[in-house]
């Protein structure tokens, strides 16, 4: 499934490709520098309008290295949004998932591009399955740490990066000031695209995972490599397989995301306003 015409499949340095993409964004938005980047996963899509004034919206396909979205629920646009206090937020609505099979360089290209635009804070959001007792679909939770079960990494070569405090305690404290009821949990990325079996969910629980998803862990590693501070939110759209008495359906996931969307988007915008 690799595409030989794609810049990230070439021998090119992926950081050089990200710098080219950042230059595209600067040219197309007229904003030379962004301060914060946020990736909007399923259920979080309304946040862009609440963060501030949209300066420019650009199709991701006009930016070097970005792919077309695989799912209808994922809007393939990049937006530059100005906050009331004058900061510039790059809103990424174009996520490439690992299961699409284009390789991990493309998965983390948006994060590396965000860093190349100048962003020093990376906010990663997703829709995910929940394991913790008491969690209910539609509930947003903070990501406290992660298990990367993809057996892959965006790091190449002898790149030994510290992963302590990956999801910055400082940023999580700010989020809890905005909403003291926010619980937190350990995000576990699996390759997907199939959801877990009940046995896999029991395994995740046994090794310390609270949330199961298919996106964020590889992105967080790349953000840390780029020197950004990371904040992560999961919208629990469904109870993980075997926790819930009913089978998972993509429709259920989309529907509970939709039901929670305006509330959690406001939460996200409020948190970004305080970062």
Active site residues: 196
> Considering beta carbons, is residue 44 or 195 the nearer one to ligand 8IG?
195
Buried b (16+ CB within 10 A) or exposed e, 145-158: bbbbbbebbbbeee
Question: What part of residues 207-226 is at the interface with ligand 8IG (CB under 6 A)?
Answer: 212-214
94 to each of 42, 71, 100, 174, 242, how far by Cα in Å? 11, 10, 13, 26, 31
Q: How far is Cα 56 from Cα 54, in angstroms, rounded to an integer?
A: 6
Query: What's the CA angle centered on 95, arms 149 and 112, to 5 degrees?
Result: 80
Q: Which stretch binds ligand 8IG (CB under 6 A): 24-32, 51-59, 81-89, 233-241?
A: 233-241
- Of the residues 45, 76, 93, 127, which one makes contact with ligand 8IG according to CB under 6 A: 127
Residue 89, beta-bridge partner list: 36, 81
Size of the site for ligand 8IG (CB under 6 A): 16
Query: What's the CA angle centered on 94, arms 93 and 97, to 5 degrees?
Result: 125
Q: Which stretch binds ligand 8IG (CB under 6 A): 21-29, 87-95, 103-111, 121-129?
A: 121-129
By the rule CB under 6 A, 107 interacts with ligand 8IG: no
By the rule CB under 6 A, 78 interacts with ligand 8IG: no
State in angstroms the smallest separation of the CB of 234 from ligand 8IG. 9
By the rule CB under 6 A, 65 interacts with ligand 8IG: no
Q: Classify burial at 201, counting beta carbons within 10 Å of its beta carbon; exposed 0-12, middle 13-18, buried 19 or more.
A: buried
By the rule CB under 6 A, 253 interacts with ligand 8IG: yes
Q: How far is Cα 45 from Cα 219, in angstroms, rounded to an integer?
A: 18
Q: Which stretch binds ligand 8IG (CB under 6 A): 4-12, 115-123, 187-195, 260-268?
A: 187-195
Helix axes 216-225, 109-116, angle to 10 degrees: 30
- Of the residues 24, 196, 210, 219, which one makes contact with ligand 8IG according to CB under 6 A: 196
Question: What part of residues 21-40 is at the interface with ligand 8IG (CB under 6 A)?
Answer: none
User: Contact, 130 vs 243, CB < 8 A?
Assistant: yes
Name the site residues for ligand 8IG (rule: CB under 6 A). Answer: 42, 127-129, 190, 192, 195-196, 212-214, 237-238, 240, 248, 253
């Amino acid at each position: 499934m690799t595409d030989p015409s794609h810049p990230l499949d070439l021998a090119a340095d992926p950081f050089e490709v990200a710098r080219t993409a950042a230059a595209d964004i600067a040219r197309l938005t007229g904003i030379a520098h962004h301060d914060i980047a946020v990736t909007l996963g399923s259920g979080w899509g309304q946040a862009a309008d609440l963060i501030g004034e949209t300066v420019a919206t650009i199709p991701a396909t006009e930016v070097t290295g970005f792919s077309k979205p695989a799912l209808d629920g994922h809007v393939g646009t990049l937006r530059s949004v100005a906050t009331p206090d004058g900061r510039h937020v790059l809103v990424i609505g174009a996520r490439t998932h690992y299961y699409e099979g284009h390789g991990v360089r493309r998965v983390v290209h948006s994060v590396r591009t965000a860093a190349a635009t100048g962003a020093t804070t990376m906010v990663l959001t997703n829709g995910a399955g929940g394991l913790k007792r008491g969690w209910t679909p539609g509930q947003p939770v903070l990501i406290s740490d992660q298990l990367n079960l993809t057996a892959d990494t965006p790091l190449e070569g002898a790149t030994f990066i510290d992963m302590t405090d990956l999801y910055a305690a400082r940023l999580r404290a700010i989020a809890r000031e905005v909403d003291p009821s926010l619980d937190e949990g350990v995000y576990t990325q699996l390759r997907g695209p199939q959801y877990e079996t009940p046995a896999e969910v029991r395994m995740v629980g046994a090794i310390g995972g609270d949330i199961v998803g298919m996106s964020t862990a590889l992105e967080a590693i790349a953000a840390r490599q780029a020197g950004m501070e990371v904040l992560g939110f999961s919208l629990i759209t469904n109870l993980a397989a075997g926790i819930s008495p009913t089978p998972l359906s993509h429709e259920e996931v989309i529907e509970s995301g939709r039901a929670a969307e305006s509330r959690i988007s406001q939460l996200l915008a409020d948190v970004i306003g305080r970062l």
